[in-house]
Homo-oligomer: A and B are copies of this chain.
Amino acid sequence: MQLSEVGEFGLIHRLSAIIGGRGGDPSGVFLGLGDDAAGFQPPENRHLVATADMLVEEIHFRRSWLSSRALGWKALAVNLSDVAAMGGEPHFALVCIAVDSPTSVEYVEGIYAGMQSLAERFGVRIAGGDTVRSRAGLTLSITVVGSVEPERLATRAGARPGDLLVVTGTLGDSAAGCMALLAGPRAAEKVPPSVLEAHRLPQPRIAEARAAVATGAVTALMDISDGLAGDLHHICEESGVGAELDAGAIPLSEACRDAAARLRLDPLQLALTGGEDYELLLAVSPERVDEVRAAITEATGTRTSVVGQIQPAGCQLLLPNGTRVPLSGAGYQHFPSE
């Protein structure tokens, strides 16, 4: 069905049916679609955290790479991951979407269905936004507002020399999936499906982050979206410290190793610079690291790994042969400088 067959307000009506209309729910949103702005009752005694990300067709995704549902899921997931990275709980999302005319109503509905399925899993309400026309391609811009107890708020700025660096899950899977998709459909068929799923349907680590910050022992926290090396540099810069990563300790899945071998890529490089993992990177004082790791695993079953240590200055990578090399922060950049 063409967008012109339903019109803007017809489209909004159809999308409202997917994400729910006016009225209250446990998210705290008491006024959703249908007014100039959404109404939200913030939880008592909490800070709010707010984050926004934009996904542009052919820059961040290709329609041939993922279903409309996966696109909606992923667009929301990257924002939920940013709320997790502050130690927070997400409450509501505002979704802006620019759509070109050849896109079908069903495709747009698929995006919202994918967002809604992830939103329901985390008690998040899609509370508003904007649906507009684009001249070419699809652009999605999502804002998520969440909250966090002030004493649990985690930033990038608190890491101290001696803190151990912990990551959740495995790294590089999403980048391996992305590289397989870039190499074409035949390459994508030959890699383990889990690396494609890691790229298409990232899992925001909200429960993991909540369990970690509840210990009170996390000194810095962020999500790994630009690759471990680049994101570690962000923590170092904001905290005014350096770090050493232990290459042999970086968790790589069998699927990532297998895909990397087929694609003739280095799985460690994928983990360091590939991006889009949406796992957590934590700094924790060494005497409490077991407690934090146990809290994450008991709450969620998610594995954790100690991958390095904060040091006073400088960033380096400890290779398995015992040599140390400087660790560049080069992750993914828009407008890469020359």
Contact = CB atoms under 8 A, between A and B. Distances in A.
Interface stretch (A80-88, A261-269, A296-304): A80-88
B37 A86 contact: yes
A189 interface: no
A306 interface: no
A281 to B, nearest CB: 11
A305 interface: no
Q: Which of A6, A35, A153 has its CB near the most chain B CB atoms (within 10 A)? A: A35
Interface size class of A (residues with CB under 8 A): 35 or more
A53 B128 CA distance: 10
Interface in A115-144: 127-137, 139, 141, 143
Interface stretch (A54-62, A165-173, A317-325): A54-62
Interface in A195-253: 222-223, 238
Nearest to A34: B238
Contacts of A336: 4, 7-8
Contact of A52 (B48, B60, B139, B143): B143
Nearest to A30: B47
A88 B335 CA distance: 37
B337 A59 contact: no
Contact of A136 (B30, B136, B222): B136
B335 A155 contact: no
Contacts of A39: 47-49, 86, 153, 155
A11 interface: yes
A31 interface: yes
Nearest to A95: B52
A10 interface: yes
A64 interface: no
A65 interface: no
A246 to B, nearest CB: 24
A3 B133 contact: no
B51 A94 contact: yes
A109 to B, nearest CB: 14
A326 B11 CA distance: 25
Contacts of A30: 47
A64 to B, nearest CB: 16
A166 to B, nearest CB: 17
Contact of A338 (B4, B53, B86, B335): B4
Contact of A333 (B7, B134, B139, B334): B7
Contacts of A335: 3-4, 6-8, 11, 99, 101, 133
A58 B333 contact: no
Contacts of A48: 39-42, 48, 145
Given A9-B333, A37-B51, A56-B132, 5 more contacts: A34-B238, A36-B82, A39-B153, A52-B95, A52-B129
19 contacts: A4-B338, A8-B336, A35-B222, A35-B238, A36-B51, A36-B86, A37-B82, A37-B85, A48-B48, A52-B129, A54-B96, A58-B135, A59-B133, A94-B143, A98-B139, A132-B334, A135-B137, A136-B136, A139-B139
List the 5 shortest-distance A-B pairs measured between CB atoms, nearest first.
A7-B337, A141-B141, A36-B85, A37-B51, A52-B94
